[in-house]
């Protein structure tokens, strides 16, 4: 039986990375601890990681049942994130399919021109988008938010890179069987793209959930606010109560933590697959 050689470097590197992991988790652990305390105990030093007097339920009720409608911000963020994620997956994957598997004049030129728009900062398009939403009478509406976020050049590129690794024989076989373009896309291409579609969906959901700039500019009705804007209202309302603010922050990031912990392999695998195709 072969004896496994002790690798000191590997062990030291593992210990070092483990220590860094614990260090990066300290803010999250402090947030959970602070959200479970009374305000008077939050800033005590040295830090008491396990609260002596628990107020988790009280802080929870203040956030979800208090005068700031946190539940409404949550529903707004959930609605926008789900709709925009579904639209992005659908339209970006269709565009990627066209740029990869369909043959038409100027295809590569059109894709190259599309990629050039990736270098334009999002902030540079705020004024044109504002004027366009005003002209369409979609300013201060969730429909306008969805319209602006339903397509992504980056995800089109990522999906195209993945689809380039799908053999064209699948397309030819579907065509021989009488399938049209949409049926080929829907029944053949999409099932083969599940790993990258999961990655696109997860990243788009997280980006939409965390987006602060777009709702800040395009929403003025507080009933339409999302979680990031709602957190700003909490900061103004409870500026001297860090326990409640930490409970609101913990509630805000909880869906993202669950999504990443459960589906992190899909994210990593999808990005790696999308990056090596073609």
Q: Is 235 helix (H, G, I), strand (E, B) or coil?
A: helix
Residue 240 CB: number of other CB atoms within 10 A? Answer: 7
Token couple for 67: 């005068």
Q: Which residue has the tokens 């539940």?
A: 71
Token couple for 129: 């988008």
Give the pTM: 0.83
DSSP 141: S
Q: Is 105 helix (H, G, I), strand (E, B) or coil?
A: coil
For the chain, which domains are there? 8-56 (no CATH), 64-276 (1.10.3720.10)
Per-residue confidence of the chain (278 residues) as pLDDT tens digits? 455 666 678 888 888 888 888 888 888 888 888 888 887 877 777 777 777 878 888 888 888 887 878 889 999 999 999 999 999 999 999 999 989 888 888 888 888 888 888 888 888 888 999 999 999 999 999 999 999 989 888 899 888 888 888 887 778 887 887 778 888 888 888 888 888 888 888 889 989 999 999 999 999 998 899 999 888 887 777 777 788 888 888 888 888 888 877 777 766 665 565 454 44
CA dihedral 200, 203, 208, 213 (to 10 degrees): -120
Token couple for 6: 């002790």
Distance CA 153, CA 40 (A): 49
């Amino acid at each position: 039986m072969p004896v496994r050689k002790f690798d000191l470097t590997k062990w030291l590197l593992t210990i070092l990375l483990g220590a860094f992991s614990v260090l990066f988790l300290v803010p999250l652990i402090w947030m959970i601890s602070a959200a479970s305390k009374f305000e008077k105990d939050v800033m005590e030093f040295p830090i008491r990681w396990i609260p002596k007097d628990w107020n988790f339920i009280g802080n929870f009720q203040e956030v979800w049942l208090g005068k700031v409608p946190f539940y409404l911000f949550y529903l707004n963020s959930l609605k926008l994130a789900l709709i925009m994620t579904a639209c992005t997956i659908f339209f970006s994957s269709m565009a990627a399919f066209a740029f990869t598997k369909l043959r038409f004049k100027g295809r590569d030129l059109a894709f190259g021109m599309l990629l050039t728009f990736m270098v334009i900062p999002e902030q540079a398009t705020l004024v044109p988008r504002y004027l366009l939403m005003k002209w369409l009478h979609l300013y201060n509406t969730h429909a306008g938010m969805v319209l602006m976020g339903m397509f992504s050049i980056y995800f089109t590129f990522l999906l195209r890179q993945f689809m380039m690794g799908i053999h064209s024989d699948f397309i030819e076989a579907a065509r021989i069987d009488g399938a049209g373009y949409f049926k080929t896309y829907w029944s053949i291409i999409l099932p083969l793209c599940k790993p990258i579609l999961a990655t696109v969906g997860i990243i788009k959901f997280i980006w939409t959930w965390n987006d602060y700039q777009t709702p800040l500019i395009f929403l003025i009705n507080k009933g339409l606010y999302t979680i990031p804007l709602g957190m700003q209202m909490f900061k103004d309302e409870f500026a001297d109560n860090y326990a409640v603010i930490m409970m609101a922050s913990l509630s805000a990031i909880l869906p993202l933590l669950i999504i990443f912990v459960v589906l992190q392999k899909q994210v990593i695998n999808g990005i790696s697959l999308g990056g090596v195709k073609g």
